[in-house]
Amino acid sequence: MAARSQDAMASPPRRTGGGVDFSALLSRFDRLGVIVALIVAAGSLALPFVTFKANRIAPGQPLGISEALAFPEGPVFQAVILAGALVALIRLPSSLRLAAGLLLIAALGLMLGVAATGLMPEGSRVARVSPAAGFWLLVFAFALVAADALARMQLGPMTRLGLLALVALGLGLMLWSGLWDDVSILREYANRGAAFRSEAQTHFALAFGSLGAATLIGVPLGILSYRNRALRTGVLNSLNVVQTIPSIALFGLLIAPLSWVAANIPGASALGVSGIGFAPAMLALFGYSLLPIVANTVAGLEATPEPVRQAARGMGMTRRQILTKVELPLALPVIIAGIRIVLVQNIGLATIAALIGGGGFGVFVFQGIGQTAMDLVLLGAVPTVALAMAAAIVLDAVVDLASPGQARPR
């Protein structure tokens, strides 16, 4: 009897009107959205949106959104951000959340451009308006919304590639329109246009060149290791050792042997081999690239189901035919996944090459650190990050396209 009355007290009868059902209200909120809303609140209210500096190395003056933007742009953008946070907070269809996330990122880009143009003193060439913590946090928050929506939508590879092209087009339009010309990073770019283009080329050459060489050598090496167990143990163990050497140490370790090669092997220095510069950077990146490619090639080939291999042999396929018609096609997604790991890794690692004179976007990063000019660091870092993300998206799509046994679109 006593227990029953306690039960009744513990769960009061459902209120029929006027009251608020909190659990129902909570269920209308998106869990990630709550976090996003908190980040947006911090980014837009507590942290500076841009930093204004009288010159590129002077201490900056942090400005919030209301200080950085005049009336009426300021309140309008505030309202747009608030609307974006609400869309993130409430449970809505993923496609809507994706669109909102991308639109908000575009709006932030627009906002940054408008703020920079407005703050820049007339005719000044030395003043700098840099994006500050608030801007980056807001971009991060809405990128989170977009990425989460993308993951939930499980779009096909072609749609994902299309979206990437759309984002790249939007970014290109923003750059081409001159909207961002007064933003600090592009001020740095304006002073170093030619250098930027040539370092970009070097960066591409380092990342893709080492990947290409590693693929050309790693895949056959993987095939040989798959067939020969003794070779496999040796190869994978040595490559594991290479992988554990810190990148800066590896660059340093290569100076002595490559200097010797350049000095003592006729024709080597004419081919560009030297202790510092492009050659050791390339060689180090190549070394780091081999393990993921060889290991994934072996793992992919090993994953061929035994009945499939038996059937192939039993039907009279030669060893070469089994490899080219059965094992390699089945292993392809795993091999491409290895290539994806390597490419994303190398785009990042190639920045370190600048330390030994190898060039690439790292040049701006290290110059910037030396001059305490953060805008210059960003000129090197932002393209590196964007490139790595784009490479990851493209190769993920390729993995999906190469996966066997997928239902074909009818």
Partner 1 sequence: MIEIDALTRVYGTTAVVDNVSLTVPRGEICVVVGTSGSGKTTLLRMINRLVEPSSGSVRIGGEDTRGFVAYQLRRRIGYVIQGNGLFPHHTVGQNIATVPSLLNWDKARIRARVDELLTLFQLDPEDYRDRMPRQLSGGQQQRIGVARALAAEPEILLMDEPFGALDPVIRSKAQADLLAIQRRFGTTIMLVTHDMTEAMALGTRIAVMDAGKLLQYAPPAEIISRPATVFVDALIGSGDRPFRMLALQKVRDHVEPGAAAGLPIDEEASLREAYAECLWSGRDAVPVVRDGALVGRITLARLTALAARPQ
Contacts of 241 (CB under 8 A, 6+ apart): none
Q: Which of 312, 323, 349, 379 binds partner 1 (CB under 8 A)?
A: 312
305 binds partner 1 (CB under 8 A): yes
CB-CB neighbours of 244 under 10 Å: 7
Identify which range of 96-104, 254-262, 302-310, 375-383 contacts partner 1 by CB under 8 A: 302-310
Let me know if 64 is exposed, middle or buried by CB neighbors in 10 A (0-12, 13-18, 19+). middle
Cα 342 to Cα 237, 291, 332, distances in angstroms: 18, 9, 15
Instruction: Label the pairing between strands 128-131 and 61-63.
Output: unpaired
Which residue from 59, 72, 193, 404 is in contact with partner 1, where contact means CB under 8 A? 404
Asked if residue 72 has a cis previous peptide bond (ω within 30° of 0), the answer is yes
Q: Is 129 in the site for partner 1 (CB under 8 A)?
A: no
330 in contact with partner 1 (CB under 8 A): yes
Q: Judge whether 335 and 296 are in contact, CB under 8 Å.
A: yes
Asked if 324 is part of the footprint of partner 1 (rule: CB under 8 A), the reply reads no
Which 8-state DSSP code applies to residue 17?
S
Q: How far is the CB of 219 from partner 1 (least distance, A)?
A: 18
| Residue closer to partner 1, measured from CB, 284 or 330 | 330
Given candidates 198, 228, 238, 318, which one binds partner 1 under the rule CB under 8 A?
A: 318
Q: Are 247 and 349 in contact (CB under 8 A)?
A: yes
Count the neighbouring beta carbons within 10 Å of the beta carbon of residue 111. 26
SS3 (DSSP) at 244? helix
Asked if residue 401 binds partner 1 (CB under 8 A), the reply is no
Site membership for partner 1, residue 308 (CB under 8 A): yes
Range in contact with partner 1 (rule: CB under 8 A) among 1-9, 109-117, 149-157, 307-315 = 307-315
Nearer CB in complex with partner 1: 233/324? 324
Rounded least distance, CB 393 to partner 1, Å: 24
* Residue 313 within binding range of partner 1, rule CB under 8 A: yes
Among 98, 262, 294, 326, binds partner 1 (CB under 8 A): 326
Query: Which chain residues interact with partner 1 by CB under 8 A?
Result: 305, 307-318, 321, 326, 329-330, 404-408
